[in-house]
Amino acid sequence: MRKMMIAGNWKMHNDNAQAQQLANQIKIKTTAETNVEIVVCPTFTALSVVNDILKGSHVILGAQNMFWEA
């Protein structure tokens, strides 16, 4: 059976400091979750910061694309 996936797209809602805090909280609070894949898609400017925080965790880092007409 496939695992359920929960993904969160942060759009453009957090600066780097807020993204760090949120990524840390997600990492800590989802440590025991093994039956679900957890994906976070932070703002482009926070990808590097969030990547550093999530290294070694089970939380998957995703990226969002953009479109000029959105």
Domain ranges of the chain: 13-27+45-70
The whole-number pLDDT of residue 11 equals 82
pTM: 0.82
b/e burial code for range 33-68 (CB count within 10 A of at least 16 → b):
eeeeebebbbbeebbebbeebbeeeebebeeeeeee
Residues 26 and 62: their CA atoms lie apart, in Å, by: 14
Q: How many beta carbons lie within 10 A of that of residue 6, not counting itself?
A: 12
The whole-number pLDDT of residue 62 equals 95
Run of H or E residues at 27:
helix 16-29
The residues facing 23 across adjacent strands are: none
For 20-59, write each residue's pLDDT tens digit: 999 999 999 998 888 999 999 999 999 999 999 999 999 9
